[in-house]
Structure 1
Amino acid sequence: MFRIVLITLTFIFSSFVHSAEKITLANGEWAPYLSEDLKHYGYMSHIVSEAFAEEGIEVDYVFLPWKRGFEDAKEGKYQGSLIWGYNEDRAKHFLYSDTVADLGTSLFHQKGKTIEWSELSDLKNYRIGGVIGYAYGVEELEKQGVLKIDRIGKDVGNYKKLAAGRLDIVLEDTEVGHETINRLGMADKLTAHPKTLQSRKYSVIISKKTPGAQALIDAFNRGLKKLKDDGRYQQFLEASRRGEYKQ
């Protein structure tokens, strides 16, 4: 009898393990939030992994250039990607999770130079640098041609251009920008304008071509709520600010 129970339990456990879902999300370099070179791939990746894990879903990450990762996920090569701001074009192809991060954008510029603006359209007279695929909250004006943003593949090149006087402004998340200029040894040359752009909400996105896409979104939202309710979300954020995700 004991042997029959043991075999039955073993079978149930084995079935549970094999039925556990596994997904792959396209990821990208955006330290300190996301990076292949950080523990847990950065604290934001850690949050996403733990939120899915709460619902029995294991996450693998594939690190790719942002544009390629987005396109591959859109075509269903991967189940989705992280983390992305909302726009109508993306929403045609992806389902959005609840907000994972609420971030602000700063205008980084050379120390000693004045950037004067009150409305976003006031920035039209400045040479602005950005990264391909990033959302800064100014995309509508960019689309209309009011703002011209020189977008390149990696953010480091923008700071080098800024330090050399080839750009007037680099658009970047406040914490990311400060971390980058410190890492590049440019803190004595570059700084952030005290006035930030409006905050931007970021989510996990799941391709509509993924079978059970809505179920994945629902599961993630439940897991994310658990992390926020029990304090782990804030713990991961504070650990990142202390530098604990660095290898």
Structure 2
Amino acid sequence: MNARRLCISLCLLLCLSTQAAERQELVISVGDWPPYLSADFKHNGVIAHLISDLFADEGYRVRFQFLPWPRAYAATAAGRFAASAVWMHKNEREADFLYSAPILDEQFVFFHLKSFPFNWRSLYDLTGLTLGGGLGYSYGAKFDAFLDTGKVRMERVPSDMQNFEKLLKNRVALYPQEINVGYAALHNHFTPADIAKITHHPKPLLNNFSYLLFPRQLEGSQALRERFNRRLQQYRDSGRYQQYFRDLQLGKYQQAAGQNTAPEADSVAP
């Protein structure tokens, strides 16, 4: 009897292993954007975890390739990856890609020192201030147009860490960044004493969506996008989607101690 049970168990394990081996692998290009995407975070970050689970339920296994953002875009547009995550919408990108349904709801805010009594209602309240910013980074069409007026000055540097260092040294008055990305950078690179000096204004600068991009170069992109979108909607309807972001707020994706690494020079998601 025991031998029979053992035989059945071995057959089941073999069957499961065969099914796993038969799953098609999707290689997805991504940039470093903690806590959403990071090789140092659990599950490669909350967005990577969400994408992996969505595709797993569709019968795929996912492998993420971390690249500088420009390389991720170009290589995926050329059809060398099944998709790329995650990107804001720009009309010119539609020539190269099919957009998924929105996968990430972002909120950009102004970070500032608690010692700086900052308040704003319109962009003109920022007149005369010096802001930190990311290289090649767009903060939405309205704010980009305001920057072009010259009423504020933005000093752009490669990383969040450098921008927060400048903020702490009073070299810039404000730093606009996505709220979870900003606080992840603070907690990963600064002391509790420095973090305690910084806050953010509650009024959002920008509410934005980001997407998974599927290259038009690949014949199967349309069908893959449709499957992804259907499963994403199921996750939203069931409440499973929201659970990933509750887990993010609870710190369940934080990197292990001792794995604190500086971001790449072009680690800002466009």
TM range (shorter): 0.7 to 0.9
Partner of 2:203: 195
Letter in 1 for 2:156: R
How many residues in Structure 1 have an aligned counterpart in Structure 2? 236
* Deviation sequence 1:57-77 (CA, Å, 0-9, x none): 221111122232222222323
Which runs of 5 or more structure 1 residues have no equivalent in the other structure? 1-9
> Which residue, 116, 120, 126 being the options, matches 1:117?
120
**Residue 116 (structure 1) shift:** 4.5
**Contact 1:66–1:133 at 8 Å: present in 2 too?**
no
Query: SS state of the match for residue 87, structure 2?
Result: strand
1:32 touches 1:43 (CA, 8 Å); kept in 2?
yes
TM-score, length basis structure 1: 0.83
Partner of 2:244: 236
2:57 is equivalent to residue 54 of structure 1: yes
Contact 1:67 1:132 in 2 (8 A): no
Match of 2:43 in 1: 40
**Percent of aligned positions with the same letter in both sequences?**
31
Match of 1:24 in 2: 27
1:6 corresponding residue in structure 2: none
* Amino acid of the structure 2 residue aligned with 1:170: Y
2:168 aligns with: 163
Query: Which of 137, 145, 159 is matched with 1:154 structurally?
Result: 159
**Cα 1:59/1:15, change in 2 over 3 Å:** closer
Match of 1:64 in 2: 67
Tell me: CA distance 1:143–1:93, structure 2 relative to 1, closer, same or farther (3 Å). farther
| 2:104 corresponds to which of 95, 101, 126 | 101
Q: 1-side partners of 2:198 and 2:20: how far apart?
A: 54
Contact 1:51–1:220 (CA under 8 A) maintained in structure 2: yes
TM-score by structure 2 length? 0.77
Q: 1:43 touches 1:236 (CA, 8 Å); kept in 2?
A: yes
- Tell me how large the CA RMSD over aligned residues is: 2.7
Distance 1:71 1:143 in 2: 29
Q: CA distance change for structure 1 residues 138 and 124 in 2, over 3 Å: closer, same or farther? A: farther
Tell me the alpha carbon deviations over residues 168-205 of structure 1, each in whole angstroms, 9 at most, x when there is no partner: 22111112222332441222322111211231011111
Structure 2: gaps of 5 or more residues: 1-13, 257-270
Q: Distance in 1 between matches of 2:149 and 2:165?
A: 25
* Kept in 1: contact 2:109–2:206 (CA 8 A): no
Offset at residue 245 of structure 1 (A): 1.8
Q: CA deviation at 1:103?
A: 1.4
